[in-house]
Structure 1
């Protein structure tokens, strides 16, 4: 088995598709770093001067009419039917930062994450504590390094393509049937191919991710906007990298399984992309069933937990219907078990098919 694994791993990296995927991962990572240049730079001297001028003009108006605006705000707040309504009347005064362009730190603080999620880090009243805890997590930030999580989905797709093409190219060329004449035991052959794809795809995923991490850090360090580079923050980066590596290996193994089941690269990749697209953009209409969607669970594994929402329509004693928005949490543990189950189920199905199908 180990001999077969080493042979398959060499064959994987002899293929141009694997090298092309690695190159593409680095290119996409470079684009991600370049796109973060604008937000990483602090305001220029001219922007600061303009902001101070606009702030002074607004402050002059506020000194004249501010008390009246606050009084009207408090009156509207008191008239609201919701006793917990908070119109933010005490925060209406102009502040200089309102007139400055946003600057994103590499490691955003809790305030930036609160702005993105709309849920205070300590959790607002009525919020599910588990939902609040997940939304306040490091990787749910809106900018800096946490904002690059979406780019990792492309890296995972490249890993899947590596796995799919590894077997479909051999099936199409007929070389897989020839290989089975030298090694007729199909189960070891399949397991060696799946393991080689899982291990061989790791450099593709990690190369792209390390370029993102290192490139963005260099950019933010040059502008002095790194933020709180504490040991805890770097620990978050390390653990995310480990979870990304596991997800990349799983994606490659799933690619091998889909390649065996569907035999054609276009069909296998199309099915994978179609399922992800459908669950990401159409899963909202499934309500509480979103909990079992692949995208939600993979996101939960990657970011240390994920949330989903849906509307619940109910009626009160008077017969009036209300529409309430409900947020639910999916833990990292569930996401990991879901990913493992997906790999196991698809691999077992592919192994059964591979042992009986004519591949000559």
Structure 2
């Protein structure tokens, strides 16, 4: 088995497309770092001067007219109550402006770092999947799989060696791209002195996000390899993925709010970010007989999302294994 995996890895890395996709994935990580560098830079002297000017103007207006603004607001509030309008959340307390209201400063690393790193999730799904699919599908398209089975007639070993090789083959690209993005984002904020307060957990949440991204890329590579075993052609895999994205992820996931946590796109977000929320309408009949609906927030945690994503990958791998054992490869 080990010798078969080594042979498959050599065949994997001999493909030019694999190297092109790997380089592209690392390049995407570089773009994410560049965006972090831009976002982490503090406001320039000119921006601070403009902010100071606008702040002084706003403060002068507030000091001169705040009493009148508050009186007008209270009159409008009373008029709304007299008309029977809903005044929930209506406030007439206008605090004095502060300089920070006019400074266009992005959040520090402590608040934005994980979000920046999460932008790598979709590239880490697509790139390793494409690498794995092209590797497996080419074996069927060229007929090499038939020749290979004459030298290694045990289909179980052939199947698992190829799936393992696909996962191990994408691992360097996944690890390097994640490391480039994670370290580059941190370095950008560190260089500009905008790390911020990391809280009691320090860098642990950021590191955990990086590890979940790696697991995401490797897991989707395994699932993509299995899908390629089932459909045998890259075009067929792309068609199936597009169909799934349109019908399930797009139409059903958007039209039926209760199905949202069972879409791959939602589970990817929940897995990478630690949790994700969605809203479900809860309707009741009011006293006047009309139906009133309120959106209630529901939260999907990382564990549930991980189990669902892992379940999809395991199911694909096992189904493809059973089919490959029994179906003619010609």
Asked if TM exceeds 0.5, the reply is yes
What is the alpha-carbon distance in structure 1 between the residues aligned to residue 199 and residue 20 of structure 2? 36
Deviation (angstroms), 1:171: 0.8
What is the alpha-carbon distance in structure 1 between the residues aligned to residue 245 and residue 206 of structure 2? 25
What is the alpha-carbon distance in structure 1 between the residues aligned to residue 66 and residue 279 of structure 2? 38
**In the alignment, structure 1 residue 348 sits paired with structure 2 residue 318:** yes
Q: Give the one of 280, 289, 293 matched to 1:319.
A: 289
Indicate the larger mover: 243-252 or 349-358.
349-358
**In the alignment, structure 1 residue 221 sits paired with structure 2 residue 224:** no
What is the alpha-carbon distance in structure 2 between the residues aligned to residue 280 and residue 38 of structure 1? 33
Q: Give the one of 250, 253, 268 matched to 2:237.
A: 268
The alignment covers a number of residue pairs equal to 325
Partner of 2:109, secondary structure, is coil
1:301 corresponds in structure 2 to 271
**In the alignment, structure 1 residue 103 sits paired with structure 2 residue 72:** no
1:19 corresponds in structure 2 to 19
Indicate the larger mover: 348-357 or 279-288.
279-288
Structure 1 residues 106-255: aligned runs within 5 Å: 106-108=109-111, 143-229=112-198, 232-255=201-224
What is the alpha-carbon distance in structure 2 between the residues aligned to residue 148 and residue 91 of structure 1? 37
Deviation (angstroms), 1:104: 2.8
CA deviation vs aligned residue, 1:4-41 (integer Å, no higher than 9, x gap): 22332332223222222221111111111222333211
1:329 corresponds in structure 2 to 299
What is the alpha-carbon distance in structure 2 between the residues aligned to residue 70 and residue 295 of structure 1? 46
Partner of 1:323, secondary structure, is strand
What is the alpha-carbon distance in structure 2 between the residues aligned to residue 21 and residue 181 of structure 1? 31
Q: Is the 8 A contact 1:257 1:347 kept in 2?
A: yes
User: Kindly tell me: are residues 320 and 61 of structure 1, through their superposed partners in 2, closer, same or farther at Cα, counting changes over 3 Å?
Assistant: same
Report runs of 4+ in structure 1 exceeding 6 Å deviation. Answer: none
What is the alpha-carbon distance in structure 2 between the residues aligned to residue 39 and residue 88 of structure 1? 34
What is the alpha-carbon distance in structure 1 between the residues aligned to residue 77 and residue 175 of structure 2? 52
Deviation (angstroms), 1:82: 5.1
Indicate the larger mover: 163-172 or 225-234.
225-234
What is the alpha-carbon distance in structure 2 between the residues aligned to residue 163 and residue 205 of structure 1? 12
**In the alignment, structure 1 residue 338 sits paired with structure 2 residue 308:** yes
What is the alpha-carbon distance in structure 2 between the residues aligned to residue 230 and residue 201 of structure 1? 34
Unaligned 5+ residue runs, structure 2? none
1:3 corresponds in structure 2 to 3
Unaligned 5+ residue runs, structure 1? 109-142
